[in-house]
Structure 1
Amino acid sequence: MTEIRTPRLLLRRWLPDDDLGPLAEIQGDPAVMRLVGDGAPRSLDESAEDIERWEEEWDDEGFGLFAVELLGSGELAGAVGLFVPDAPARVAGHIGIQWRLARQFWGQGYASEAAQATLEFALQDRGIDRVVAAAAPDDASSMKVLHKLGMTPTGEDGGLRLYAIDLTEFEG
């Protein structure tokens, strides 16, 4: 089982019986989901499908979205990880990074901490040399995380700002 420990977080594979309720609560929050996918909150069934899809990606690709757990409390804080986006066109088919955290964990550095560990995992454990990301122009928080990670703007597509990082130059 793939696990990564950071000073405050455990990034791990999904435990559907334990994680479904908390993930559904996170993904049911319109503020959390407004910039993810179509922007709609997800139901319990949709969250179950997400966990199933993410676990299949782990099995098929060797990477996926991690469950992000707080080390101190064991509480599920959200999801972060690697995926292969199908849009926008300029990043489709490349390996991307994304995250979503429960609102009560915003502004505490958890997204940066988890994303940094994910990029280190991509390079060191999976040999991935480039990762992309897309952010809505009004998503200042995500763009701040992308800049902290050392990702550089590469243009725009589909109304999103695109970023990339060459992990061979990554200073994790």
Structure 2
Amino acid sequence: MHSKELLLEAFDRLPGLVGQVLDGLDEEQLQLRPAGQGNSIAWLVWHMGRVEDAQVASASGLEQVWKAEGFVTRFGLPLADSDTGYGHSSQQVDAVRAPRELLREYYLAVHRQTARVLEGIGDSDLDRVVDRRWDPPVTLGVRLVSILGDCLQHGGQAAYAKGLLAASDSNGA
């Protein structure tokens, strides 16, 4: 297996995770915050898409799907167009509201761009430095692994939050 195939296999698991999390939830459930202060499922899925979108686009010299395909306008969030969710306050987390299908559509569009980027890389591309602000500088390979790790973490958090909803429903809460 080549590196590209391994990365595609790993990133191809994310849309299914997003779909499993979003399926069956209404807009109220998407906005619920575990313990009243955790990140909502809507925020987690949106952030997952924004992180992947912004970082893959930057590393590849592409425009973000968020702007290129008009999602920034369709979401209409009271946030800066470049906002990805890093360092959000509680109020900013609450501000991320979107219907399930828009969240799914955005993530799938981001995934398509990521897959196109991954299809076009070779093993030697993974050594290309994409961010010199770190010591050592970050290569494309390291950045892709970082993106994947972040997305898996947030997808898992969203799945856990959905499980909490199901547990509270079964307890009559």
- Range of TM-score over shorter length: under 0.3
- TM-score, normalised via structure 2 length: 0.25
* Higher share of residues assigned helix: 2
- TM-score, normalised via structure 1 length: 0.25
* Higher share of residues assigned strand: 1
Higher relative contact order (CA closer than 8 Å, sequence separation 6+)? 2
